[in-house]
Chain A
Amino acid sequence: MSILVGHDTRLAVAGLTGREGRYHALNNRRYGTQVVAGVTPGKGGQDVDGVPVFDTFRAAVAATGANTAMIFVPPPSAADSILEAEDAGIGTIVAITEGIPAHDELMVYAVLKRNPAVRLVGPNCPGVLSPGKANVGIIPASFFKPGNVGVVSRSGTLTYQIGNELAQSGFGNSTIVGIGGDPVPGSSFVDIIDLFEADPETDLIVMSGEIGGSAEEEAAGYIAAHVTKPVVGYVAGLTAPPGKTMGHAGAIVSGSTGGGQAKVDALEAVGVRVGRTPTQVAEIAVEILDR
């Protein structure tokens, strides 16, 4: 089954006519994703390598039955694009754009919270890949193969590292979800772990976190109460000095919260095994799966 994206995904891309949007959307199509539409105001009626472009998300949905949106527009208009996709009835929105103003993200979060039928992944994320089925975003799909490990991560490259080590040990992935490193992620660890718990193709969940915020602690609480599948954790930035921001909004240790060790402790306290390196994460996952 996999989660979020799969054979049923019909993708509309905001920013398809831009250089980056075009490159990655066509890459996604080459992988097998049904890329059915582009959305660029003023360019309706054109096409990008055979993919029809519409002026609005509403027109794209009406003409193509698009059910998933990928947001690839520049930061100033990204929030608008996300809201437009929601307004058009799209259920899964994957926002790749990085550098969206924090107050725009707050507003988007407040709007989407009122619509339980919509799920936003990102922004500032690498996207969602269900190996062998569909790729929505910029995850280099060639490193991953179909399998039973679900991966959810705040970092893109770290996901590739862990996924690659799993692949070398012979294991593949049901779905890989990058939730992004921004201040207000549309989806949290809890949201995605919940989807993996319900997914029959996922037997083990890897969650790759990092210092800052409290998303890992919240995930630990949720896992204890609701998750029956084994979860393997990782927390990047354990040795980062307090007060230093490390490239992600999340990645700052401030005061008593957000520290790496507290996250590791919270996860281990609920039975999540936490690898000390990405390599160890893959080793633990393999050990559990081989049992």
Chain B
Amino acid sequence: MWRPPVDLLEYKGKQVLARYDVPLHRGREAATVEQAVAAAEAVGYPVAVKAQVKIGGRGKAGGIKIAASPDELREHAASILGMDIRGHTVHELWIQEAAEIASEYYAAVVFDRAAKAPLAMLSTQGGIDIEQVAAEHPEALATIHIDPLVGFRAFHGRRLAYEAGVETDIVRPVAELLATLYEVFAREEATLVEINPLILTPDRRVVALDAKVALDDSALFRHPDNAALEDTSNADPQELMASERGLTYVKLDGDIGIFGNGAGLVMSTLDVVAQAGGAPANFLDAGGGAKAEAIVASVEVILSNPSVKAVLFNVFGGITRCDEVARGLIEAYEILQPSVPFVVRLDGTNDVEARKLLADADLPNVFPEATMDGAAARVVELVRAAEMERSA
């Protein structure tokens, strides 16, 4: 099944860019205040102390500070490490030489799904939310689709630079930088290479002040060096556990655990549960042809979320055999002895056999349902009944 792109932290993205000689500021990473002090000594004051999290808006959240002395550095490093930026805990800092900025630009190469082609972009209104620029001043964002068979040619860079209104003396370095970003995008098999801001220094140098690089997870097998750049320090524990078991799991806010096969059917199951008045605790797609072992692993992941008060199995077997799902569920019951009720709807390949297996096993607290809508209504009912019982 398809997996989301691997977002890199700023400094790891810059490690990739450095391989292509993209102009960058000197910097070092640090995970403790002491490491930050040592990094700043090596880089030279003043330095920028930058929170390393995979989410935008770090500056506004107080995650980027300038330090002119070791005392200031200690203060900022201590306050930023451990900070929560919109649900992302800061575990690492990037200590970087402070930049002198004359102008801020925006440059990116992104995978444009609608056009099914890479899209290169440049704006002289950098440093701010580019979506806002695109919405309010679309003329300020120069864009060009690149035919992957032709690649990024010199004229593409020139066209973007002139159309974005870059000052004449730096058209050439900006155009060259765009060509390099495309090279990174294509050769590293990225889905996004974004520099915001790309700055012009007072001495007219073009430097990438920030970097956002996302890599195609499906292509990492061709880039063993990049696989090591992935950061999982902020991953949800259930999501990590699921990914180790080869399952696609997304944690949600509700209390009804969901198991299904096929992304579309699972999404549809979430919707039907919500329409019945329930709140799903997760998305879990066991994929096609899941074996009993994968079912046990799935149940384990679902139940490891303490919010789960009931579980809904909604399976339409194609390659997935319902009898295999039933066997997995029975095995999971033996191993995990769950205390929450399960509602099970199995349709499709070998469904009759599956229903017989479940009937014979006679598991406590397992409720078979014939239809998807019926199963959703039933699981919501069970959660409500459990709530009533607790509050009574």
Are chains A and B native binding partners rather than an unrelated pairing? Answer: yes
Residue positions of A touching B, CB distance < 8 A: 75-76, 98-104, 106-107, 109-111, 124, 126, 138-140, 143, 153-161, 164, 181-184, 208, 210-211, 213-214, 218, 234, 236-241, 244-252, 255, 276-279
Contact B148 A143 (CB under 8 A): no
User: Is A279 touching B373 in the complex (CB atoms < 8 A)?
Assistant: yes
Cα–Cα, bound, A9→B266 (Å): 33
Q: Is the interface of B mostly helix, strand, loop or mixed?
A: mixed
Tally of chain B residues near chain A (CB < 8 A): 54
B218, B260, B271: the one contacting A237 at CB < 8 Å is B271
Interface SS majority for chain A? loop
Least CB distance, B24 to chain A, in whole angstroms? 24
Distance A100 CA – B268 CA, assembled complex (angstroms): 25
Q: Residues of B contacting A241 with CB < 8 Å?
A: 252-253
Which of B26-34, B68-76, B97-105, B108-116 makes up part of the contact surface? B108-116
**Is B180's beta carbon under 8 Å from chain A?**
no
7 nearest CB pairs, A to B: A155-B264, A157-B262, A247-B263, A101-B219, A158-B264, A157-B265, A237-B267
B residues less than 8 Å from A158 (CB atoms): 262, 264-265, 268
- How far does the Cβ of A120 sit from chain B's closest Cβ, in whole Å? 12
Cβ-neighbour of B264 out of A75, A218, A248 (below 8 A): A248
What is the bound-complex CA distance between A246 and B2, given in angstroms?
A: 9
Decide: A138 near B189, CB < 8 A? Known: A157-B261, A164-B347: no
Q: Chain B residues near A245: list those with CB within 8 A.
A: 4, 250
Out of A99, A111, A156, name the residue touching B218 (CB < 8 Å). Answer: A99
Among B113, B248, B348, max chain A CB count under 10 A is at: B113
Looking at the assembled complex, report how far the CB atom of A207 sits from the nearest CB atom of chain B, in whole angstroms.
12
Q: Which of A111, A183, A214 has the most CB of B within 10 A?
A: A183
**Shortest Cβ gap from B185 to chain A (Å):** 9
Sample 28 A-B pairs with CB under 8 A, ordered by A number.
Answer: A102-B111, A102-B189, A102-B219, A106-B117, A140-B349, A156-B264, A157-B261, A157-B265, A158-B264, A158-B265, A181-B2, A183-B2, A183-B111, A183-B113, A184-B116, A210-B267, A211-B267, A236-B265, A240-B283, A245-B250, A247-B266, A249-B113, A250-B113, A255-B131, A276-B271, A276-B275, A277-B272, A279-B371
